[in-house]
Amino acid sequence: MLAGEQGHATQKAMQILVALGKIYDAERLVKVSSVQVSGVSYKNLGDAGLEFLRELARDGKARVKTTLNPAGMSLTDWKSQGIDSGFAKKQLRVIDAYRKLGVEITCTCTPYLAGNEPSFGQHIAWGESSAVAYANSVIGARTNREGGPSALAASLTGRTPLYGLHITENRVPTIAVDVEAQLRFPEDFSAMGYFVGGEAKDGIPYFRGVQRASLEDLKTLSAALASSGGVAMFHLEGLTPEFGVATKNLETLTFTGKELMETNFQLNDEGAPDFVSVGCPHCSLTELATLAKLLSGRQVTREFWVCCSGEVKRQGDQAGYSKIIEESGAKFALDTCMVVAPVEELGYKVVATNSAKACHYLRNAGLKVRFMPLEECVAEATSG
Ligand code: F3S
């Protein structure tokens, strides 16, 4: 591959992996069973990124199952989202290049809810920090936090350098967290992740004292941990598959009701929301069920985005949830989300959301944020 015998794109991909392997002192490459590619929104890629993809698409092909992160807009409904046609044209070219490369156009940050479901112990190469933390921690698959180019390089070669979280010894906790706060909603897990991520930096937290956690709790915890810090893996004692590791002599944090309250306070700016968005990470079917229940018979009074994958939306169609949600005037934001779409250019100023990760990135984009539970997001979106 490196010698170019299997084509230009494969050679370029292998050059990226070899360079990475040298930086991290990897002993060898390891085969991967799946890839999740990030770096899809034209907002982040720009023309240089688009050209890089088009060059690879001339003769490159995915060798393993490869799925795609959200794009900067809905691929079909971008006009109703208010997206500029110049942006849309470039975004569609990005998608076209990925399609030529053999990447499945899933456009979701929850690939594990949309058919890309690795097994315990499998080596994978995933971009998208929330999905990486989920895959390592909840599934027990093994991936580093890949960037767009390195994930794509793994897809085009079927391999990744063996270092970091691919190695058992590197998957042990670095910091313990005693959870004393009552975690009642997924948003409480989100706030906890945001607090702990800031303290743990790129370490591996070991949570003690959490009795139960739903898929939605784990999904939002993964996202928040990876946004305020660089966490790519965590353990929940008794709940995640690799928790049985030594925790003696670890630095210990305590997360009480006080930290929960302070984090909630910290994630709220002044101002009335003019935009409400849920589904960061992309909604699960259970979340669509909850939304349908909350929105049934009500009308939204401001822009309300429900971000989810096409696959989960299809499941919601079958279950009858999507119809109820759409009848309320809420919009499905398929293929995209409030962070990777150019929301700041659509004129909105204050965003209400139930995701600490979304708050973090929306603030970086210059917007004000209001962090609240899903139920309150619906109340806000339907208030007079
Ligand atoms: Fe997904 Fe967008 Fe949040 S990609 S994790 S919904 S920032």
Q: What is the pLDDT of residues 140-149, one digit of tens each?
A: 999 999 999 9
Report pLDDT for 299: 98
Q: Is 182 exposed, middle or buried (0-12, 13-18, 19+ CB in 10 A)?
A: exposed
Q: What is the pTM of this model?
A: 0.97
Assign 343 a pLDDT band (cuts: 50, 70, 90). confident
Whether residue 245 is predicted with pLDDT greater than 80 in this model: the reply is: no
| Mean predicted confidence (pLDDT) in 307-311 | 96
Share of the chain above pLDDT 90, in %: 96
Assign 131 a pLDDT band (cuts: 50, 70, 90). very high
Q: What is the pLDDT of residues 67-93, one digit of tens each?
A: 999 999 999 999 998 999 999 999 999
Report the nearest-CA residue for atom 6 of ligand 1: 280
R_g over Cα of the chain: 20
Report pLDDT for 346: 87
Task: Indicate whether residue 357 lines ligand 1 (CB < 6 A).
Answer: yes
Q: Is the separation of the CB atoms in 35 and 124 below 8 Å? A: yes
Report pLDDT for 384: 79
| Mean predicted confidence (pLDDT) in 44-63 | 97
Q: Is the separation of the CB atoms in 222 and 110 below 8 Å? A: no
The CA-atom distances, in angstroms, between 215 and each of 105, 186, 248, 303 are: 24, 9, 28, 27
Task: Indicate whether residue 224 lines ligand 1 (CB < 6 A).
Answer: no
Q: Name residues whose C-beta falls within 8 Å of residue 312's C-beta, 6 or more positions apart in sequence.
A: 108, 110, 113, 114, 282, 283, 284, 285, 288
- Choice among 98-107, 235-244, 341-350 with the minimum mean pLDDT: 341-350
Bridge-based pairing of strands 159-161 and 29-31 is antiparallel
Report pLDDT for 186: 98
Whether residue 246 is predicted with pLDDT greater than 80 in this model: the reply is: no
For residue 25, report the distance from its CA to the centre of ligand 1, in Å. 31
Q: What is the pLDDT of residues 362-380, one digit of tens each?
A: 999 999 999 999 999 999 9
| Mean predicted confidence (pLDDT) in 12-31 | 98
φ, ψ dihedrals at 15, nearest 5°: -60, -40
- Ligand 1 atom with the shortest distance to the CA of 109: 1
Report the nearest-CA residue for atom 5 of ligand 1: 281
Q: Which of 113, 305, 307 to mutate to test the pocket of ligand 1 (most atoms within 8 A of CB)?
A: 307
| Mean predicted confidence (pLDDT) in 107-116 | 97
Task: Indicate whether residue 127 lines ligand 1 (CB < 6 A).
Answer: no
| Mean predicted confidence (pLDDT) in 115-138 | 98
- Choice among 111-120, 200-209, 262-271, 341-350 with the minimum mean pLDDT: 341-350
Report pLDDT for 249: 87
Task: Indicate whether residue 340 lines ligand 1 (CB < 6 A).
Answer: yes
Q: Quick one: CA dihedral 303, 308, 311, 312, positive or negative?
A: negative
- Ligand 1 atom with the shortest distance to the CA of 338: 2
Q: Which of 231, 277, 280 to mutate to test the pocket of ligand 1 (most atoms within 8 A of CB)?
A: 280
Strand pairing partners for 205? 175
Bridge-based pairing of strands 235-236 and 205-208 is parallel
Q: Which of 37, 38, 130 to mutate to test the pocket of ligand 1 (most atoms within 8 A of CB)?
A: 130
For residue 91, report the distance from its CA to the centre of ligand 1, in Å. 17
Start-end of H helices in 57-185: 85-100, 129-134, 148-157
Whether residue 256 is predicted with pLDDT greater than 80 in this model: the reply is: yes
The DSSP call for residue 167 is S
Q: What is the mean pLDDT of the chain?
A: 96
Task: Indicate whether residue 281 lines ligand 1 (CB < 6 A).
Answer: yes
